[in-house]
Copies of this chain bind each other. A is one copy, B any other.
């Protein structure tokens, strides 16, 4: 979230070691800072502003002149250079921002990416690979649980923000849910976003959903498809009987790392990554509309 202005110019000066006069000159001449103003007209700076001043000082120390240093300092946060960055770099930066528990930086990065790329691309090239990598590291004990929680929380917030109004529209309806006991819903959200951008209307039930709720939603909305996703294969086993009943009533798909063929269920397994499978499901419906 955008940093609030809480520092007056004196404090910013004290913390950065740059005189107030000079700070004002930098603002006037290079637009290095854009403080908000108090009702009385005092400049109010945020902590991001402090970072920018520090960046400016770094560049000055490295020998650049003020004008050039200022441009670099303002660009650093998300300039055009970022826009064309490749997938791998972006992934690394996302990882480093989240590892540092730096939510503002994460959000800024996602902002730039989403501004210049498709949501599909951001999901399939950056966010989902990052999540896979995080999962692997966690299994090997290299990532802390706190870290995983933080990263998951920040990303869920962003993705759900993009998911606003995804139940609205014209396309076929789909119900999305994780079975009881399954907490990993990020892949499912990504899948929902990919489907929505392909025209689907999403009824999202989320993590750890009792199977009865899914059945109820399926009756209420008469969706074209129902997708259940779990990382944990057993989560499917525990509800196999209800799944079978559900599949008799309509198209049921199983996704996520734990998806596999269950005997006699009559559900289709979506084994690939969410974006691919969104394409596949869309193609299926296109060929065989019901």
Q: A65-B11, A112-B2 are in contact. Are A168 and B104 (CB under 8 A)?
A: yes
How close is A281's CB to chain B, nearest CB, in angstroms? 10
Instruction: List chain B residues, Cβ under 8 A from A8.
Output: 64-65, 68
**A128-159 near B? 1/0 per residue, CB < 8 Å:** 00000000000000001110011011001110
Q: What is the chain B residue whose CB lies nearest that of A145? A: B213
Interface centre among A34, A75, A80, A198 (most CB of B within 10 A): A80
Whether A2 pairs with B83 at a CB distance below 8 angstroms is: yes
Q: What is the chain B residue whose CB lies nearest that of A206? A: B153
From residue 51 to 81 of chain A, which have CB atoms closer than 8 A to chain B? Answer: 63-65, 67-68, 71-72, 74-75, 78-81
How close is A25's CB to chain B, nearest CB, in angstroms? 17
**How many residues on the A side are at the interface (Cβ–Cβ under 8 A)?**
93
Q: A83-B1, A86-B115 are in contact. Are A120 and B165 (CB under 8 A)?
A: yes
A191 beta carbon closer than 8 Å to chain B: no
Whether A160 pairs with B169 at a CB distance below 8 angstroms is: no
A220 beta carbon closer than 8 Å to chain B: yes
From residue 203 to 225 of chain A, which have CB atoms closer than 8 A to chain B? Answer: 203-210, 212-214, 216-217, 220-221
Measured between alpha carbons, how far is A197 from B169 in the docked complex, in Å? Answer: 7
A265 beta carbon closer than 8 Å to chain B: no
Q: How many copies does the complex hold?
A: 3
How close is A202's CB to chain B, nearest CB, in angstroms? 9
A167 beta carbon closer than 8 Å to chain B: yes
Measured between alpha carbons, how far is A199 from B112 in the docked complex, in Å? Answer: 21
Interface centre among A75, A177, A199, A209 (most CB of B within 10 A): A199
**A108-133 near B? 1/0 per residue, CB < 8 Å:** 10111011101011000000000000
Whether A68 pairs with B204 at a CB distance below 8 angstroms is: no
Whether B198 pairs with A115 at a CB distance below 8 angstroms is: no
A19 beta carbon closer than 8 Å to chain B: no
How close is A104's CB to chain B, nearest CB, in angstroms? 5
Q: List 18 A-B contacts (CB under 8 A).
A: A5-B68, A6-B68, A6-B71, A8-B65, A71-B170, A103-B165, A107-B164, A111-B115, A118-B165, A145-B213, A150-B203, A150-B217, A153-B160, A157-B163, A168-B197, A170-B285, A170-B286, A183-B207
